Chains A and B, each alone.
Chain A
Amino acid sequence: MAAVLAFLAPAAAPARAQEPGVTWDHRPTIVLGEGSRIDLHARAQSDYLVRDESDSDVASLTFEDRLSVARKRVSVEGVLFDRVSFEVEGEVGDEQPWRDVYADVKVNRKLRIRAGHFKVPFSLEQLTRGTDLDFIARPAAVSDLSPSRDIGVMLHGRLADKAVKYEGGVFEVDAAARLWKADATRTYAGRVTIAPLADGKSRGSDALEFSAALLRSDLPEGRSSLNGHLVMGDTFFHKMFVNGIRTRMGASVAWNARRASVHGEWLRALDSRRGQAIDGGDLSDLVSTGGYAAGVWHLLARDGHRWGHAPLRGIDVTGRFDRLTYGSTATVDDAFLNPRADHVAPIGKDTWTAGVNWHVNRWVKIQANAVREQIVDPLALLPLSTAPLWSTVVRFQVAM
């Protein structure tokens, strides 16, 4: 129904500024008065599995088996008195429905305070909204190494004539299960973005951005290290026993031009493993490293597109390479893959993704991605084939 509405919807009438009432500008908006409004959003994504070489029974799947719903979200975003912005977003039908639920208070241009449940500032790709991604799936390095949302408080703002953007906060890890409990664990996060090019009067253009991020999290004892997945969800690197501190660091660069954009990230996580050897001794740190480089060519760009926003576009051709590896700081002695190995055998995955995005109109996007994954297992320890695995998925998205 949402898809039909999106196709049939008339051209949007621009909202009349600041007159109380309900308007339609891409989406329903309730204008409460000067500097206060509420926007209603709905987003739905459905995927059709064309090909999956990791599943030997895929040929026998029916049309319904191949179809899945990736997201069906509704949200309310708004601004009150030009000073407090907020968002409440939920996944319809999910056992844990809440996604972004926060309020953001603007103290001044240089300082804002956000509190609630929202994304931890770390990865550029993870911070990009799911409906604005250039690919159907985030790169493995991001989906497997980057934190998503937690409950926390964050200070953020822009300095130096908007050339520097900063975000820093503290979050409760896995807050839904632990908040207010004695075993609560925390993440301290900081991210700085430098945008050296000018955009109109001031600097801070998103045409070129460099970012660096650092996270430090408490890591309770347990089998809870980061693990690695194939794009279809199978696990190729299983969780290890950890205890102590998880340190994540990341860097990214994004260049956005009218007809093309390029961006990339490098991410690393170090997990300490105190007292986790089979004899109770300490193990070396577990090292998880990943990164990607992605490019988008706007074949039919119709406006001054900037990556990360949601402009009107026509057709994009996309390509990406990403790599994810696991290992340890110990490199002597025999390399093993058991969850208490001191020298963790190097295991990784290289992924190439090629795709096309068709922006049918401002609400409807159709994406097709062909993915070639190859597990890297130089010591031949995994019970998995290291031959390339191909998968192809088509996504139909409606967002307003």
Chain B
Amino acid sequence: MRMRTAVLLLALLCSAVTASAQTQADLFDDTTLHTIEIVMHSRDWSDLHANFRTNDHYPCDVIWNGLRMRNTAVRSRGNGSRYQAKPGLELTFDHYASQQRFLGLRSLVLDNLVTDPSMIRESSAMALMRRVGVAAPREAPARVFVNGDYAGLYMIVEPVDTVFAQKAFEQPGLLFEYRWTYPFFATFPGDGLDAYATLFESRSLGVHSTAELYTPMRELFRTINDTPQGEFAQVDRYLDLASVIRTLGASTFMAEWDGVFGYDGMNNFYLYRMGEQATLIPWDRDQAFHAVNYPLLAGALENVIGRRMLQEPELRAAYVQAVTAAMAAAEGDGWLEREFTRQYALIHDAAVADTLKLATNEAFEQAFAELVAFARTRPSFVRNELNALR
């Protein structure tokens, strides 16, 4: 009896040590297919499906790698990816307790991957972003179970919040999520601050007045539009041009057509402002690797930032350099093709077993083949376009 108690205590101790040893790096380890279990009231799960277009939160427990996180909130999420049969999910750990964290995280995104038949575009794009030094969210694939039932293959996505931004830029600041409301190409929205509040939703904690949040934003766009020809570098006071150009260069190589230089205006980014100067954080890259022959300047010339940047020789050269660096990172050692292949192999069985996904298994296989083709042929196309741009 005493022996059995001792063994039990030892097992509990080992379990506790294992649990406490988990880190964010383990959670976002993209070499592993993770398993996440969600325990929630069956009525709430039904309601979440029925009301998948709303952001209503429901309480749940989340179990990952032996860790059980109680008092968590789950909600349906996404814009174009809202899908009733397989809702995108956001797990929020501080919704019901402002100081509660899970491995230091305030929340976690479970991307339902319904807008990308290959299911690996975004995770590969973010990996390439990080490879060229852009602060981009980490991602890892996971099989998600709700009350014991397989809910499908999801991608665990590191949320862009103040925890992420402060860690990435090592400074406190104010975070804004860009909200697509109309085709906006960085023209001056006007003197009224409401126009900025509509486009840039505050994601900062605490209470901030509208003036505190959006007066510097107005100055940013005034400077972008009103700075005299030849002096666009003045924008650097409000926007970290070096960092932004690095992000734009990588997006350009990846034929991202729904980003900052999107086909229908700016989209899918956060803005983090430290003091006066802001920088961009990429988000939602499920439309990356759009087409091998997607033009380098598609969307750039319609956007005031892109157009004016390309008119300045120094900034234009920096942009060419950023695209070149991203291409080198993708091409070197065949990294991008290997990354596609590795991720495909990792998720393959879980993806095929996911009967709730929007695409068929044939479309999944076809999309992977297109990604491999992109990795092989995009560099030569980009090289030709860059020669014309220099």
Contact = CB atoms under 8 A, between A and B. Distances in A.
Contact of A278 (B59, B99, B210, B211): B59
B241 to A, nearest CB: 32
Contacts of A183: none
Contact of B71 (A241, A279, A341): A341
Given A60-B210, A60-B211, A278-B59, A338 B40 contact: no
Of listed A337, A341, A345, residue having the most chain B CB within 10 A: A337
A341 to B, nearest CB: 7
A337 to B, nearest CB: 5
B41 A381 contact: no
18 contacts: A57-B209, A60-B211, A241-B41, A276-B41, A277-B41, A278-B40, A278-B44, A279-B39, A336-B70, A337-B71, A337-B96, A338-B71, A338-B95, A338-B96, A339-B59, A380-B99, A381-B97, A382-B98
B41 A340 contact: yes
Given A336-B71, A337-B97, A380-B99, A56 B209 contact: yes
Contacts of A383: 94, 98, 205
B98 A278 contact: no
Contacts of A379: 97
A64 interface: no
A280 interface: yes
A334 interface: yes
Interface string B19-57: 000000000000000000001111110000000000000
Given A278-B39, A280-B41, A340 B59 contact: yes
A202 interface: no
Contact of A336 (B41, B97, B205, B210): B97
Interface in A1-52: none
B53 to A, nearest CB: 18
B302 interface: no
A385 B208 CA distance: 13
B73 A338 contact: yes
Interface of A: 56-57, 59-60, 221, 241, 276-280, 334, 336-341, 345, 379-383, 385
B60 interface: yes
B313 to A, nearest CB: 43
Contacts of A241: 41
Given A336-B71, A336-B96, A338-B71, A278 B209 contact: no
Interface string B186-212: 000000000000000000010111110
Contacts of A276: 41
B236 interface: no
B240 interface: no
B61 interface: yes
Nearest to A277: B41
A341 B96 CA distance: 10
B288 to A, nearest CB: 34
B78 to A, nearest CB: 23
Contact of B207 (A56, A339, A380): A56
B68 to A, nearest CB: 12
Nearest to B72: A338
Central interface residue in A56, A221, A338, A341, by most chain B CB within 10 Å: A338
Contacts of B39: 278-279
A56 B209 CA distance: 5
A341 B208 CA distance: 31
Nearest to A340: B59
Given A340-B41, A345-B97, 19 more contacts: A56-B209, A57-B210, A60-B209, A241-B41, A278-B39, A278-B41, A278-B44, A278-B59, A278-B61, A280-B41, A334-B71, A337-B96, A338-B59, A338-B72, A338-B96, A339-B59, A379-B97, A380-B99, A385-B207
A345 B96 CA distance: 10
Nearest to A58: B209
B40 to A, nearest CB: 5
Nearest to A241: B41
Contacts of B99: 380-381
Shortest beta-carbon contacts, A-B, top 3: A338-B59, A338-B96, A383-B98
A380 B98 contact: yes
A155 B207 CA distance: 51
Nearest to B193: A60
A185 B237 CA distance: 63
Contacts of A277: 41
A56 B210 CA distance: 8
A56 B208 contact: yes
A366 B61 CA distance: 52
